[in-house]
Amino acid sequence: MQTITVSDAVGQALAEEMRRDPRVLMFGEGVATKRHDLVAEFGTQRVRNTPLAEGIIAGTAAGAAAMGLRPVVDLLFAPFLTLSMDAIINSAGKLRYLSGGQFEFPMVVLTMTGAGWGVGAQHNHNLEAMFVHAPGLKVVMPSSAADFKGLMKAAIRDDNPVLFFMDLALAHVPGPVPEGEHLVSIGRAAVLREGRDVTLVSYAKTVGHCLQAAQALQEQGVSAEVIDLRTLKPIDEATVLASVRKTGRLIVVHEASRLCGVGAEVAAIVSEKAFGALTAPVMRLTGPDAPSASSWVLEQAGVPQADAIRDAALRLVNTETVAA
């Protein structure tokens, strides 16, 4: 087992898949500049920079995928996905269905999102729910270096377009990662901590905040189960439902804003399929419905933190130690 950063785990996955399959190539904004090792090993035909033109990059990837290649494109910051949505949603997401399966679209769209670098509202906006809503797409948003590697390899091998969101604050966080072949199935959540009193469901950066909250709750006699969704579409309903049926309480935590977010979908699934098991209302802790601040301090104020998660859990289990 090696210890490497999330960014290096993604690079390792790319290198291994490019060695395994000559149809895998990578292009986008600054990829050849950032990943010299890939350029040195695979050459400029397979790793190349592009102009800052997100729509053209995504459209080129959709065309390349339809012709049998397996492109990975890097569009840098998630807010600029809005410039590429026609190619991703109307072409890559729909044409496999519309062509009766004559075309496949094995492409990965890599992008960065979330608070942590103070890059301002136009470079920081959690848009993952928009793509969860679009048919034909898969959406992943891991939290650990090992999952970044395993899910990137799985995404490259998938015959459907996969949106791969990297939380900016996690990019340089190290973690244990298996060497060599390591795949994580798309659509499988992970139970990171077992508990009996309340279920905390999250993804990306706020998974770590949930684990911190669970540790604090344990010190106050409350046992919290922590689930990392890892994949937002398809979502692992079975793991979430099994946990809620055990604990009877659910808090969904994410940095994106609440309205029509992933938390709303999880809450609806539990309400439809496990309502009888609930002993308290489902709670959501999310970011605000507002543009992100450039100030790091203000930016952090928009992210659900461990203390807020702990306090919400205490309210749900109706203890006498609820924070004011």
| Mean pLDDT calculated for residue range 194-207 | 98
Mean confidence (pLDDT) of the chain: 94
Angle in degrees, CA 268, 271, 275, rounded to 5: 170
User: What average pLDDT score do residues 181-197 get?
Assistant: 97
Q: Which residues pair with 285 in a beta bridge?
A: 253
Catalytic residue among 29, 123, 125, 299: 123
Once rounded to an integer, what is the mean pLDDT over residues 169-185? 94
SS3 281: coil
CA distance 58 to 52: 11
Q: Percent of the chain at pLDDT above 90?
A: 88
Q: H helices of 248-304, where?
A: 262-273, 296-301
Percent share of the chain, pLDDT over 70: 98
Among residues 17, 54, 225, 265, which one is catalytic?
54
Q: Which residues of 255-271 are buried (b: 16+ CB within 10 A; e: fewer)?
A: bbbeeebbbbbbbebbe
Name the pLDDT band for 120 (thresholds 50, 70, 90): confident
Q: For residue 86, what are the CA distances in angstroms to 81, 105, 232, 293?
A: 10, 14, 21, 28
**Nearest Cα to 91, choosing from 105, 73, 70, 101?**
105
User: Catalytic annotation on 254?
Assistant: no
Residue 118 pLDDT level (bands cut at 50, 70, 90): confident
**pLDDT, tens digit, 9 for 90 and up, residues 208-219:** 999 999 999 999
Based on its alpha-carbon atoms, the radius of gyration of the chain, rounded to whole angstroms, reads: 20
The four Cα atoms 210, 140, 113, 78 give a dihedral, to 10 degrees, of: -160
CB-based contact 279:249 (threshold 8 Å): yes
pLDDT higher than threshold 90 for residue 121: no
Q: Quick check: is 54 catalytic? A: yes
Structure token digits, residue 65: 């995928």
Please say whether the beta carbons of 112 and 166 come within 8 A: yes
Calculate mean pLDDT across residues 229-239. 98
From CA 297, how far away is CA 300, in angstroms rounded? Answer: 5
Tell me if the pTM is above 0.85: yes
Q: What is the residue type of 286?
A: T
What confidence score (pLDDT) does residue 319 get? 55
Predicted confidence at residue 320, as pLDDT, reads 47
Cis link prior to 234 (omega < 30° from 0)? Answer: yes
Name residue, tokens 């949505």. 85
Mean pLDDT, residues 26-42 taken together: 93
Q: In what order do the strands lie in the sheet with 283-287?
A: 190-193, 224-228, 198-202, 250-257, 283-287
Q: What is the mean pLDDT of residues 150-173?
A: 97
What is the DSSP secondary structure assignment for residue 80, as one 8-state letter? Answer: G
Q: What is the pLDDT of residues 265-311, one digit of tens each?
A: 999 999 999 999 999 999 999 999 999 888 989 999 889 999 999 99
- pLDDT tops 90 at residue 165: yes
CA 108 vs CA 4, 155, 183: distances in Å: 22, 6, 16
φ/ψ bin of 319: left (φ > 0), alpha (ψ from -120 to 50), beta (otherwise): beta
